[in-house]
Structure 1
């Protein structure tokens, strides 16, 4: 009888330990600025990409674009880690040639134009350690206004390969070939 009692106590203890360790595998909630990716060509059926951008998508939540990405200041072009851009072959961004590789994508917002910055620093958080000396290319592009307001910062590519940044009604097109 004592053996049966000891075995049942042992079984209860084992179940308790297993259920306790299963709770240790908690998964955190969705990030407030979730990570996303955009690529060209954008079709999922095309495996040979020219460019891929990995970025986090901040949301306006009643704030203005300018309050989150102030004019004249280097911005990480998203949230959290600096946006990462990978070119799988040599490209031209605006009128600047950029060799294949992985870079950080920074921007300097402005009222009428934005400066697009391709920088050789990678794996950096935000723009706090941005180093202008590591810029590979800087291109100035005009700002336009869209009809539809986007709550979340978004990056997309058109059929020609130009990269489009959009947030609120702000639109910026970055020519790429």
Structure 2
């Protein structure tokens, strides 16, 4: 067999092998609760981040917020996986110091506010595996009611008087979580 025929046969075989793998792949549809991220500083050009959170954004879709996030039950603070928050420097939540690193953010909605929980657990789907013993910091913050309603759960960081504020919003409910240095 000629050298060119052998090369052509090998090339054809490799092409068939690769194309059959590509055809066999099944990709999932878009998630109904898309993943998002918020960071501070907010400017994407500023690489010197202090904190960043990755979370999924559930939608109201005509449902009542208090049925989706009932009082007295630990919530994953979003959809799907519990959000992971990375601190690039030590910060405080209330009087508890949080060392630089990655943690999970949970929350506990209550009648008169919401308790924000920073947990050392990672890779948590939902809040099913939540363990209070793994809490690093907790802080109860008040909730307020806004005039406008947010269809999708949202988070954004803003500059605070003494540090950074993590703002949470869904429906007409708003909460501001202060992190200080």
Q: How does 1:66-81 map to 2 (within 5 A)?
A: 66-81=66-81
Superposed CA RMSD: 1.9
Structure 2 CA distance for partners of 1:138 and 1:19, relative to 1, 3 Å? same
Q: Which residue of 2 aligns with 1:114?
A: 114
Q: How does the TM-score come out when normalised to structure 2?
A: 0.85
Query: Is residue 164 of structure 1 aligned with residue 167 of structure 2?
Result: yes
How far did residue 112 of structure 1 move? 2.2
Structure 1 unaligned spans of 5+? 1-12
2:150 corresponding residue in structure 1: 150
- Cα distance in 1 between the residues matched to 2:14 and 2:103: 50
| Structure 1 residue aligned with 2:123 | 123
Distance 1:64 1:15, change over 3 A: same
Length-normalised TM-score, structure 1 = 0.87
Judge conservation of contact 1:111–1:143 (CA < 8 Å) in 2.
Answer: no
Q: Which residue of 2 aligns with 1:87?
A: 87
**Structure 1 runs of 4+ off > 3 angstroms?**
13-21
Give the total of aligned pairs.
166
